[in-house]
Structure 1
Amino acid sequence: MEYIYAALLLHNAGKDVSEENVTAVLNAAGVEVQDARVKALVAALEDVNIEEAISKAAVAPVAAAPAAAAAPAAAAAPAAEEEAEEEAKKEEEEESGMAGLGALFG
């Protein structure tokens, strides 16, 4: 993951995503650099328009959660409500975490 982050950081800074630059960013972050991974990343991103990929990823539809089935008994309703509340909290936490990542790159 840190290799991709290095490429995104370089792109955001307007620098060339090259082996030397990716290696420099990773070294500055204290990551033990594997030359083969750096070469593979740079080769994979060679023909990729990073700005276009970011914009497509930002607007990609998120799969909607399936609707919960109706509880067959009244006793099951409170448990279902608790589960729904917990799931809503998890979704909010994930969304706030993703918003924080978005602030890093744009």
Structure 2
Amino acid sequence: MEYIYAALLLHELGKPLEENALSSVIKAAGIEPDMARVKQVVETLSKVDIDKILAQAQAAPVMAPPVAEKKEVKEEKKEEKKKEEKKEEEEVALEGLAGLFG
């Protein structure tokens, strides 16, 4: 990630994305740069329109998770359980009465 952050910093400052510049930024952060990774990042990002990608990332909508729906579902389940319990109790009571007459 440090390599991408360094590349974004260079881009933001309007500096060209070159191996020497990228490795200098990484060194300034206190990290010994891996020149293979530096070369790979420079090569890959030179083919990408960074401004376009940043604009797309900022425009991406963020949806909040639906919290209220979960509570309603739980309440419905509780009501269903209560109704089922009442039906079972009524059935047991009716079975007892049927035994008296049957």
Q: What range describes the TM-score normalised by the shorter chain of this pair?
A: 0.5 to 0.7
What is the Cα deviation at residue 62 of structure 1? 2.4
What is the Cα deviation at residue 64 of structure 1? 4.1
- Closer/same/farther in 2, CA of residues 48 and 65 from structure 1, 3 Å limit: same
Structure 2 letter corresponding to 1:13: L
Moved over 3 A (4+): none
Describe how 1:30-69 pairs up with structure 2 within 5 A.
Answer: 30-67=30-67, 68-69=69-70
Describe how 1:9-88 pairs up with structure 2 within 5 A.
Answer: 9-67=9-67, 68-69=69-70, 70=72, 71-72=74-75, 73=78
SS in structure 2 at match of 1:8: helix
- Residue segments in structure 1 that go unaligned for 5+ positions in a row: 75-106
Structure 1 letter corresponding to 2:58: A
What is the Cα deviation at residue 66 of structure 1? 3.7
The structure, 1 or 2, with the larger RCO (C-alpha pairs under 8 Å, 6+ apart) is 1
For normalisation by structure 2, the TM-score amounts to 0.65
Q: Distance in 1 between matches of 2:18 and 2:8?
A: 12
**Cα RMSD for the two superposed structures:** 1.8
Matched-pair identity in % = 45
For normalisation by structure 1, the TM-score amounts to 0.62
> Which has the larger share of helix?
2
1:4-37 Cα deviation digits (max 9, x unpaired)? 1100100011100111100000001101211111
Q: Distance in 1 between matches of 2:13 and 2:24?
A: 14
What count of residue pairs does the alignment treat as equivalent?
A: 74
